[in-house]
Structure 1
């Protein structure tokens, strides 16, 4: 009986530790997104291969690379996609058949894209949108509409990636391009809201350190500590 109790406790502890850790797919998403945002195509080529070997489908990686353009621009996204085409062609020549994976589901919600995007953002943030608009949304209302309709409706609604995975993509891009710490802070908070744990985000920083750069990881660590401290003080 004692042996069984010890085994069960050990198994439960192992499962808990596993839940605290990012898996290989998630680590690959971080590397691919950050390297694409930086334009480091030589290293990206290797990480795209590793991502496929870690279990990411072709469509999941394509979705990561598409997502990049919303934060780092079309040029970085397109170069990433072109690099991925080369990787897939090389693997095909070697006789490797990669899993294509699911396409994005059809959106059947008949609400306006602005309303749908607003709802997605409220789900991510956990709080209702404030009215009247302030800051950039009041200063440039057009960009606020673009954010709701395109970023949070057109992109985040695509279910090839989960909200957790999209937030990992986003914080990796923001860390890779640098100089956008307020946005990184916001998306680290969103990452926690959608179920990523502090331990997982600390692991994210370690992945950034090895794949993207020590300076980028140092900045991400500082911002993450600020976010965690702020949430603990509430």
Structure 2
């Protein structure tokens, strides 16, 4: 009986290890008081793209490449943010990135392309995968009847689960934590979406970002987008931290 129990435990660990590795792949800085250089560079790239500040985006893209972000990681960040600020901003960001890469290539700079997204080997429906991904992000099951906007317009809830949280989050070029950093950078920059920013800052904490790191995030928003955006983001963050205590 004891041998069988051990075998069952090993089986469960094997089943869940792949998902846990994916979810917490860069969740190694829980005790750090600072964002990594890579994380620091994701923020201005996402922020400038979101508000259409393309001339400011160019040096941010150069900084990102110079400090270790791969071409595919930056592309993925710019693609991901369309879900929060629209295709026009995302596409203009990608076009600007193409210009930067051409300029760097003309100077003889060879940048690392990076990994492509791995194939998704999962027999569940996209809705089921998206629901499971979202549950992992928020740290609780999503049971019971739909409420709020999801009950008012059920189709958007389906789109969110199947596309955003399945199609996009299943792409492992960026980790969940990196995708959430892109998300809060966009939401803090475009403004007037406090409920969404509140939810995603809470997710950042669930994924292992520390309060110190999120305070650093609002500081970077201040130096990129400005004092007003940073003040609003800080107020939302303070509320999230107070409610978490």
TM-score (norm 2): 0.87
SS at 2:32 equivalent: helix
For residues 94-124 of structure 1, what are the alpha-carbon distances to aligned partners after superposition, in whole Å with 9 as ceiling and x for unaligned?
0000000000110001100000000000000
For residues 200-223 of structure 1, what are the alpha-carbon distances to aligned partners after superposition, in whole Å with 9 as ceiling and x for unaligned?
000000111111111100000000
Distance, in Å, in 2 between the alignment partners of 1:116 and 1:18 is: 30
- The reply on whether 1:165 has 2:178 as its aligned counterpart is yes
Aligned residue among 108, 111, 116 for 2:129: 116
Aligned residue pairs: how many? 218
Distance, in Å, in 1 between the alignment partners of 2:225 and 2:175 is: 23
- The reply on whether 1:131 has 2:144 as its aligned counterpart is yes
| 2:70 paired residue number | 57
Aligned residue among 216, 219, 225 for 1:212: 225
SS at 1:104 equivalent: coil
Distance, in Å, in 1 between the alignment partners of 2:121 and 2:31 is: 36
CA RMSD, aligned part only? 1.4
TM-score (norm 1): 0.91
Deviation at 1:18, TM superposition (A): 7.5
For residues 46-65 of structure 1, what are the alpha-carbon distances to aligned partners after superposition, in whole Å with 9 as ceiling and x for unaligned?
10000001100000000010
CA contact (8 A) 2:30 2:209 kept: no
Aligned residue among 84, 102, 111 for 1:98: 111
Q: 1:17 to 1:136 in 2, by over 3 A?
A: closer
- The reply on whether 1:190 has 2:203 as its aligned counterpart is yes
| 2:240 paired residue number | 227
Distance, in Å, in 2 between the alignment partners of 1:48 and 1:214 is: 22
- For residues 35-74 of structure 1, what are the structure 2 equivalents within 5 Å? 35-74=48-87
Deviation at 1:20, TM superposition (A): 1.9
Moved over 2 A (4+): none
